[in-house]
Structure 1
Amino acid sequence: MLNKVFIIGRLTGDPVITYLPSGTPVVEFTLAYNRRYKNQNGEFQEESHFFDVKAYGKMAEDWATRFSKGYLVLVEGRLSQEKWEKEGKKFSKVRIIAENVRLINRPKGAELQAEEEEEVPPIEEEIEKLGKEEEKPFTDEEDEIPF
């Protein structure tokens, strides 16, 4: 089954890094996305959406030091649903597990870090590459739908 997400948005705060008992780094941040559309009266409206993002491993540690509040990034990843129970009530949350994060733009006044001084390809090239990835065709032999 296909579970792939691409989203462009701004970090709402600095990434927070923690470590699992195994020593694996985990970074978490929230991404804000603004959707602009025309309503029934032809007037432009804007609504904001916020997505929690989590990443694991060495790359997560790098992202925690390279990105901060206000940075515009492209996140490539997958959706994951976390479920838990508290005081007899069931809760769930869907978040993005990042597999890749690309810098698109820094906020005004943000200083370059030494690693960021390398040339970053234009985002249009990255988006074009994403559209060319081949997907495995669906067959009846795959798992049944889980609902």
Structure 2
Amino acid sequence: MMNRVVLVGRLTRDPELRYTPSGVPMATFTLAVNRTFSNQQGEREADFINCVVWRKPAENVANYLKKGSMAGVDGRIQTRNFEGQDGKRVYITEVVAESVQFLEPRSSGNRSDNNDYYGGAPREQGNPFGNSNQNQRPAPAKQQGYTRMDDDPFAGSGQIDISDDDLPF
């Protein structure tokens, strides 16, 4: 049997970080995922999918993603139920993320020099994956595609001119 979900979308609100009584971090967020087709009015609709992530990735999500951030989620669907305050059974379906990918570079205000590598090894300071320097390889020489941020024509200021009214969430 198989239970696998891969999603790419934008967060509808800032992630909510909480801790279990035993101290395990968990973050919840909702991902707006555009549908591949338009409705009868020619507008694209979106699905709003609840996600939960645990442990260190939960802290990373809470620290580095915010409303409007694009993220990729790889995980599984989970259903649970409980008895609500009114005595009725409440069913919840959510994606339990095993991996969350940050799909947009951090704003250019976070860059401190021109040695940031786009898609390469993260710097020690501000590294969302911990501060381990072991097993880091030097950045590869420029091959096909863009290796350094200053070679990327899309790096720009990191700002996008878009109003909240244009977002689907």
Relative to the length of structure 1, the TM-score reads 0.69
Answer 1 or 2: which has greater strand percent. Answer: 1
- Measure, in 2, the Cα distance between the counterparts of 1:88 and 1:78: 29
| 1:43-58 pair list within 5 angstroms | 44-58=42-56
Specify the SS of the correspondent of 1:120. coil
Q: Structure 1 residues 32 and 106, CA, compared in 2 at 3 Å: closer, same or farther?
A: farther
Relative to the length of structure 2, the TM-score reads 0.60
Q: Structure 1 residues 100 and 19, CA, compared in 2 at 3 Å: closer, same or farther?
A: same
The residue type equivalent to 2:90 in the other structure is F
Q: Structure 1 residues 22 and 38, CA, compared in 2 at 3 Å: closer, same or farther?
A: closer
Q: Deviations over 1:90-145 (max 9, x none)?
A: 110100101111111269x685488xx55327xxxxxxxxxxxxxxxxxxxxxxxx
| 1:3-42 pair list within 5 angstroms | 3-38=3-38
Q: Deviations over 1:32-75 (max 9, x none)?
A: 01114156x7x744112101110111121112101111111110
- Measure, in 2, the Cα distance between the counterparts of 1:9 and 1:48: 9
1:65 corresponds in structure 2 to 63
Q: Structure 1 residues 64 and 77, CA, compared in 2 at 3 Å: closer, same or farther?
A: same
2:91 corresponds in structure 1 to 92
Q: Structure 1 residues 62 and 77, CA, compared in 2 at 3 Å: closer, same or farther?
A: same
The residue type equivalent to 1:85 in the other structure is E
Structure showing greater relative contact order (alpha-carbon pairs closer than 8 Å, 6 or more residues apart): 1
- Measure, in 2, the Cα distance between the counterparts of 1:45 and 1:101: 28
Specify the SS of the correspondent of 2:103. strand
- Measure, in 2, the Cα distance between the counterparts of 1:20 and 1:37: 40
Calculate the aligned-residue CA RMSD, in Å.
Answer: 2.5
Consecutive aligned runs of 4 or more in structure 1 exceeding 6 Å deviation: none
Q: Structure 1 residues 84 and 110, CA, compared in 2 at 3 Å: closer, same or farther?
A: farther
- Contact 2:38 2:45 (8 Å CA) reproduced: no
1:101 corresponds in structure 2 to 100
1:142 corresponds in structure 2 to none
Specify the SS of the correspondent of 1:105. coil
1:128 corresponds in structure 2 to none
- Contact 1:36 1:45 (8 Å CA) reproduced: no
- Which ranges in structure 2 are unaligned for 5 or more consecutive residues? 121-169
The residue type equivalent to 2:98 in the other structure is E
